[in-house]
Amino acid sequence: VQTLSSSVGAMPATPRSTRKGSRSRGASPSKSGGRSSSPSTPLRLDVKALGDSADVSSISPFSGVLDESTGHDKYSKYFYRPHFLIAMLFGTVSLYYANFHVEKGNLQTNVKRGLLGATFAFLLYSALPTPPARPIFSRPHPLVWRVITGACICYYMALTFLLFQSVDDARWLVTFVDPCHNGLVECSDGAKIGLGLGRPRALPERSYADACTVWTGKEGCKLWADLNKSEEPCMGNIQDAVQDEFFFAHIVGWWGKALILRHAGAAWINSIVFEFIELSFQHWMPNFAECWWDHIILDVMVCNALGIFLGHVFIHYFEAKEYRWMNISGYPTAPGKAKRLMEQFMPESWDSYDWHSLESPKRLIILVFVYFLILLQDFNAFALKYILWMPPRNPLNTYRLVLWWLLGMMAVREFYEYTTNRAVKRLGHDAWLGGMILTIEVLIWVKFGREANEFKEPFPRWVIVMWATVLVLFVGWFYHHFFVVPMREHKARGRKQR
């Protein structure tokens, strides 16, 4: 084998049909007749067998780790293999100990510790095996996705620095990075963090459960009123909720999550469970309190459903479309060149995810774990905003959600390949980075919540009963589906054979 690219091309991809019929970890899914947005995953390759002329740029972004353990004996090989999960555990334990079991200091001491902590976080990421030269996605350009990974590393280091501060100092420092105070973005007074640079202020949390009456109009009211013409709406509270700017943001958010999960059922279940999360934690954050029609109708049946539907229309369009890509120079006319240039910013193709969650207990637990991580990321958005006194309309909240959306697409793709593809032996840099960022965000609101005496109210009894009931029903169904039913089928096949 002279080059890595030739060896990759010589490896046949596992057909989709064989992957569907197997309960073991198979190849990554791709639609027949189209090209995957990510390269087919080759087996792990030995770097020494490739020679000096190996084309490193053709390494798969999922399994193309250069095997540094080659040439070592069986006792030392372990120390030369990538250990992403051990590195994540080591980083989490180290940061937890440094912030929860070390004596508190003043601002000057905490800044020094924060700088050392951010340096430790960067060195921990640098200790991982070198990322593959090819990113997971190639559109609009691999450079874009490498820059996104770099931005996530910066956010990862900034969170680590913030973790070492006290809650009062953190609220003070956040005012200096607020785009509204730096002249970068024009904001209303209600969207600014604090009263100015270095002047934090507590937030009046808004509750959406203050006016829950459905029919508010009198005789002659209109179902949809023009408030500028002083018309009276028949359902004024619902119209106010629909006209709220977060109504549209809700739809866009679930469109983005549909692109991350790439499975309608998974996205739909995730959207329903989050409504139960809001019900369970509204005694901690008043922003979670909503009317019944807001939870059931506007959120689940309208915003979530519409966002998931639009997301999967987007996915299936690119999944079924046949591509005949040509270089820009290959188009003779200016409109053709312009059209091809715009196509560069669209996916080359798209793969749906088939988690096979009902095929084995392991696969279902993996999917439940993915649900938990996504729900935790959503909860972190509200908890960080609440504990750092950041108004909901502040641009920093939007920047964080966009960055998480971009990182989430890469991280979930890597985690999907890691859990469903036998050729993938490592977690992946973006998935590792997402896990560490998620962990540090949790440590921040837990630490600051203890210092500010927040998040101390006990859960209401009905919340405990609700989740205990859900857990019992899930465990019962889990045992029946994966153990009782297969045992009955096995006995039935035995009787037929006799």
Write out pLDDT tens, residues 325-374: 345 555 556 666 565 555 555 555 556 677 777 888 888 898 889 889 99
Q: What is the pLDDT of residue 340?
A: 54
Angle between helices 361-387 and 264-281 (to 10 degrees): 50
Taking the C-alpha atoms of residue 241 and residue 97, their distance in angstroms, rounded to an integer, is 44
Q: How far apart are CA 50 and CA 65, in angstroms?
A: 13
Q: 210 versus 305: which is more confidently predicted?
A: 305
Residue type, 389: W
Q: What is the mean pLDDT of residues 19-28?
A: 38
Q: How many CB atoms lie within 10 A of CB 473?
A: 10
Query: According to the model, what pLDDT value does residue 15 have?
Result: 38
CB 238, CB 292: distance < 8 Å:
no
Q: Which of 22-31, 114-123, 312-321 has the lowest mean pLDDT?
A: 22-31
Interatomic CA distance for residues 227 and 235, integer angstroms: 13
pLDDT tens, position by position, 117-162: 999 999 999 988 877 656 667 666 778 888 999 999 999 999 999 9
Decide which of 380 and 190 is more confident: 380
Q: Which positions ≥6 away from 256 have C-beta within 8 Å?
A: 307, 311, 405
Which band of pLDDT confidence, cut at 50, 70 and 90, is reported for residue 399?
Answer: very high
Q: Evaluate if residue 10 carries a pLDDT over 60.
A: no
pLDDT above 70 covers what percent of the chain?
Answer: 77
- Which pLDDT value is given to residue 325? 38
Decide: 101 and 6 in contact? Cβ < 8 Å: no
Task: Please give the Cα distance from 167 to 444 (Å, whole number).
Answer: 9
* pLDDT for res 308: 92
Q: What is the mean pLDDT of the chain?
A: 79
Give the pLDDT of residue 274. 92
What is the distance in angstroms between the CA of the first residue and the CA of the last residue of the chain? Answer: 54
SS3 39: coil
Q: What's the confidence (pLDDT) of residue 25? A: 38
Task: For 4-22, give one letter per residue: b (16+ CB within 10 A) or e.
Answer: beebbeeeeebebeebeee
pLDDT tens, 229-284?
878 888 888 888 888 878 898 899 999 998 888 888 888 888 999 999 999 999 89
Percent residues over pLDDT 90 in the chain = 34
C-alpha distances (whole Å) from 196 to each of 158, 295, 452 are 21, 35, 22
- Hunting for tokens 């088939």 — which residue is that? 354
Residue 324 scores a pLDDT above 60: no
Separation of alpha carbons 20 and 363, rounded Å: 13
Please report, as a single letter, which amino acid is at residue 489.
E
Q: How confident is the model at residue 171 (pLDDT cuts 50, 70, 90)?
A: very high
The 10s digit of each residue's pLDDT in 427-473 is 888 999 999 999 999 999 999 999 999 998 999 999 999 999 999 99
Range among 3-7, 45-49, 306-310 with highest mean pLDDT value: 306-310
Q: Are 357 and 262 in contact (CB under 8 A)?
A: no
